[in-house]
Amino acid sequence: MKAIGADGAFKLEDGNYFYEFDKEKPTPKNRELLVKIKAISVNPVDTKIRQTEPSEAPRVLGFDAVGIVEAMGDEVELFNLGDEVYYSGSPEYPGSNETFQLVDERVVARKPSNLSYNEAASLPLTALTASETLFDVFKISDKPEENKTKTLLIINGSGGVGSIATQIAKGYGLNVITTASREETKEWSYQMGADLVLDHNNDLAEEFRQHELNEVDYTFCTFNSDMYYETMIELTKVRGTIATIVAFNDKQDLNLLKSKSITLTHEYMYSRLIHQAEDIIQHHRYLTDVTEKVERGLYQPTVNEVLDGLSAENLYTAHQKLESNQMIGKLVINLESEED
């Protein structure tokens, strides 16, 4: 089977150190599935991990994948051979930048039947991140009518996470304010269902005043937590909640949260898997809910660009595009032409 890997950490300006190599097709055991991959997507986390030293070489990156179950371990309960599935994998396994991949069935769901492989590949990691933020962190109700009075602010609503978070939040009854700066990103965010899109190049507090907006119940930052830290506190209600997915690079004054008794949380959707939490199967449940909503026409895929073929060149190009910070939605690599 084919895989794309790299032997060490590298920056894009140093050149393309991804390379193609052959590896033995693994055999699933216990609750593992062996999936023949049809499409993958590339995420910002891939670009960050690429710049860290691997524990062993070659390291295969990649999380999001969609494909067909080719073999199963003897304890699998949720799937059958031939099922079309999608998932965001686990740091405990080699990544999805290969033609076949092992994955624990508890983090997998059936692919939405009304989506292509490319479309489905755009969803898992970002949908899981958004679902954990909304339900685990913000603890919104699973009954949409109970969320009608609540408002969510998403900073950077046109990225992969912001795009699906907007849809899930709207699907569960929240009022959603997002931010963007370019006309095309503003249009995209409205297409995802945002009630209002503000310009994050401007002072957001002033934008709130100009639109006569009140403080929000929840603030979700998907871009540069340091830049918006004090603004998020200003715009969030007393006893509201702020969630970020981008680590702070600077030291921040946590005492600023005290006056409003605001809760600040980092969201990392692989924490359950890394620490082997008892409820790992929550990934399966969240993705199954997304599948059901997509099939009902309530959510739409967020793919905005597709590269054809698994190659070192395409993977390098994908990382370049993500690091440009100009991506709208998700970038997918299609593997349907790959031989067994």
Q: What is the pLDDT of residues 255-277, one digit of tens each?
A: 999 999 999 999 999 999 999 99
pLDDT tens digits, one per residue of 151-210: 999 999 998 999 999 999 999 999 999 999 889 999 999 999 999 999 988 999 999 999
How do the domains of the chain map onto residue ranges?
2-123+277-334, 126-269
Residue 340 binned pLDDT confidence (cut-offs 50, 70, 90):
low
The topology under which CATH files domain 126-269 is Rossmann fold (3.40.50)
DSSP state of 114: T
pLDDT tens digits, one per residue of 94-140: 999 999 999 999 999 999 999 999 999 999 999 999 999 999 999 99
pLDDT tens digits, one per residue of 296-310: 999 999 998 999 999
Task: Report strand pairing: 84-87 vs 65-72.
Answer: antiparallel
pLDDT of residue 129: 97
- 126-269 and 2-123+277-334 share a CATH fold: no
Is residue 339 predicted with pLDDT exceeding 80? no
Average pLDDT over residues 216-240: 96
2-123+277-334 has CATH 3.90.180.10 classification: yes
Is residue 82 predicted with pLDDT exceeding 90? yes
CA distances from 84 to 131, 145, 283 (A): 22, 33, 17
On whether the CB atoms of residues 64 and 45 are closer than 8 A, the answer is no
Measured over the CA atoms of residue 303, residue 307, residue 311 and residue 313, the dihedral's sign is negative
Question: How far apart, in whole angstroms, are the C-alpha atoms of residue 65 and residue 287?
Answer: 13
Beta-strand (E) ranges in 118-276? 151-155, 175-180, 196-199, 216-221, 236-244, 263-266
Mean pLDDT for all residues in the chain: 96
pLDDT of residue 28: 98
Average pLDDT over residues 64-92: 97
